[in-house]
Amino acid sequence: MAPLTTLVLVLAMAVFQPSMILSGDAGINYGRNGDNLPSPKQVINFLTKDLNYRISLIRIYDANLDILEALSGTNLVVTIGVPNEAISYVASSQEAADKWVQDHIITYIRKGVRFRYLCVGNEAIPGVVASDVLQAILNLQNSLRQRAGTQDIYVTTAVSANVLGVSFPPSQGQFAPNVADIMSNITLYLHRIGSPLLINVYPYFALVSEPGRISLDYALFQAPRPIKDGELEYYNLFDAMVDAFVAALVRVVQSEDVKLVVSETGWPTAGREPYSSIENARIYNNKLREHAITRGTTPRKADINLEVYIFSMFNENFKQAGEQQNFGTFYPNLTQVYPLWY
């Protein structure tokens, strides 16, 4: 049975068992910055037939039409991105946004693609097109409301921890001064339309930037003792980083009712030893997946229902040399780099 079907059943049962805790899910990021990767058709066939939907959530970055064709008629749940290079175009007019939605969303809804999030850019804030992100979101939301029919597609954007000025302790989380205006306007709008903010959360990068202050155990979900923040106890850096975002959002909307999805997280298998290794990547991603699926919450958010997308499907040899190329959980021949997706 596909995990999503299970989730629907769990949701239906929850009506009769209000005490039941809802758990989250783990999906995958499918990036294609490499010249040794299988075709989209091979990848999607692998996920649906060979893996039989053990990974049911997929995020794609480039809205590539070959991938969208390959996804047609499958039950994979898709997060699609407006590439950073297309944000200003989509923000430029309602007609431009309508055309983008028609070409990449409407056409493929008709061909049987199930979309969940429409993500405007990846880590576009801060950056040269940061000031166009909100207008792009507004235009796309209009387009979807007019045209998408019955699918609930949430328009949003994905940001990294770079947008936070303070992230420790988690309760003090807030946006950095250089993006505070943009982030609060976006946050308020997403809250109004019920969209989650997508966040890219990498305990690995926090660890390698401050190895003297952060322990490997804490980054790998293996800390023997918690770090306290007021009443809350943190046994892993991932939760602390997510809750720093929660604090930043709550500060803006003045309500605990905020929504977040972890659009990227992961650990490299090579490129910066001793932190990067197959063994550390195996531990991190397995513990993360278990945390999302069986627990599904952070210390601050009992209702977050963690939805996480592991970065990534493959190593991508066109990315910056070093660790950036080595986040893949599958080899190009579609065998797993280490046991994860069982």
Ligand X SMILES: *[C@@H]1O[C@H](CO)[C@@H](O)[C@H](O)[C@H]1NC(C)=O
Residues that bind ligand X (CB under 6 A): 181-182, 185, 331, 333, 335
Give residue 249's identity as a one-letter amino acid code.
L
Single out the catalytic residue among 123, 307, 316, 323: 123
As a whole number of angstroms, the distance between CA 302 and CA 299 comes to 7
Cβ atoms of 309 and 57 within 8 Å: the answer is yes
Name 302's bridge partners: none
231 part of the active site: no
How many Cβ atoms sit within 10 Å of the Cβ of residue 176? 17
Assess whether 256 carries a catalytic annotation: no
| Cα 282 to Cα 7, 152, 195, 278, 341, distances in angstroms | 25, 34, 31, 6, 11
Q: Which is nearer to ligand X, 47 or 68 (CB)?
A: 47
In whole angstroms, the minimum distance from the beta carbon of 164 to ligand X comes to 17
Find the shortest distance in angstroms from Cβ 64 to ligand X: 24
Choice between 103 and 181, CB closer to ligand X = 181
Given the residues 210, 231, 256, 264, the one annotated as active site = 264
Containing 154, the helix (H) or strand (E) segment is strand 154-160
Q: How far is the CB of 249 from ligand X (least distance, A)?
A: 16
Cβ-in-10-Å burial (0-12, 13-18, 19+) of 85 comes to: exposed
DSSP per-residue letters across 160-197: EGGGEEE-SSGGG-EE-TTTHHHHHHHHHHHHHHTPPE
Minimum CB distance to ligand X, residue 145 (Å): 21
Residues 281 and 283: their CA atoms lie apart, in Å, by: 5
In angstroms, give the least distance from the CB of 179 to ligand X. Answer: 9
Asked whether 202 and 265 are in contact (CB, 8 A), the reply is yes
Least separation in angstroms between CB 104 and ligand X? 26
Contact 30, 46 (CB under 8 A): no
Distance CA 18, CA 83 (A): 40
Burial class (CB in 10 A: 0-12, 13-18, 19+), 304: buried
Q: Which is nearer to ligand X, 182 or 248 (CB)?
A: 182
How is residue 47 annotated by DSSP?
I
Q: What is the length of the chain? A: 342
Q: Which residues are catalytic?
A: 123, 264
